Amino acid sequence: MTLEVIEPLHDADALAALHTACFERPWSGDAFAKLLRGAGVHALGTSQGFIVIRCVADEAEILSLGVVPAARGAGHGRDLVRAAAHLAASAYQVRHIFLEVAANNHAARALYSGLGFICHGSRPRYYANIDAHLMRCDLRACGWMPVDCEKKGDCKL
């Protein structure tokens, strides 16, 4: 399988189609269009996966991440998080990236942990009857370098 180059995504309907392929509860094209109009919001991806982040001050939140089932397990999810972190650090001087992930989403939790995110709290029953784990990555402590992506310490971004 050939993975495509990750690029900015501006087509709300295409994003909704990707989201539908990745999640049980899809977001509409209108929802993505509204989201993309927000300050600091960026979508990146390919025809196989996407990531949406919102950058505010020195923080970025991963709002959504998905890889279509047929393309999973090939490193695309990790590459999407890295690409988003690079954008956030280089364009906004972001120093922390955070997100919420369902406690039973073992694939996503393993992906984020492997990249240096740590769990720093939880929201009980945030997703219906499932807890949300709050995960955070300190890019500076990890040695994240936006220009040359130098790797240091435990951060795998």
Ligand X SMILES: CC(C)(COP(=O)(O)OP(=O)(O)OC[C@H]1O[C@@H](n2cnc3c(N)ncnc32)[C@H](O)[C@@H]1OP(=O)(O)O)[C@@H](O)C(=O)NCCC(=O)NCCS
Which residues here bind ligand X, judged by CB under 6 A?
A: 22-23, 65-67, 72-78, 101, 105-108, 110-111, 114
Nearer to ligand X, 8 or 75 (CB): 75
Q: For the CA atoms of the chain, what is the radius of gyration?
A: 15
Cβ pair 78, 117 in contact under 8 A: no
Cβ pair 41, 53 in contact under 8 A: yes
* Residue with the CB atom nearest ligand X in the bound state: 77
Residue 40 Cβ, how far from ligand X at the closest point, in Å?
Answer: 19
Nearer to ligand X, 107 or 140 (CB): 107
Nearest to 80 by CA among 117, 37, 57, 111: 111
Residue 21 Cβ, how far from ligand X at the closest point, in Å?
Answer: 9
Residue 61 Cβ, how far from ligand X at the closest point, in Å?
Answer: 11
Nearer to ligand X, 28 or 104 (CB): 104
Nearest to 153 by CA among 131, 140, 14, 38: 140
Residue 126 Cβ, how far from ligand X at the closest point, in Å?
Answer: 12
Separation between Cα atoms, residue 13 and residue 119, nearest integer Å: 33
Nearer to ligand X, 107 or 149 (CB): 107
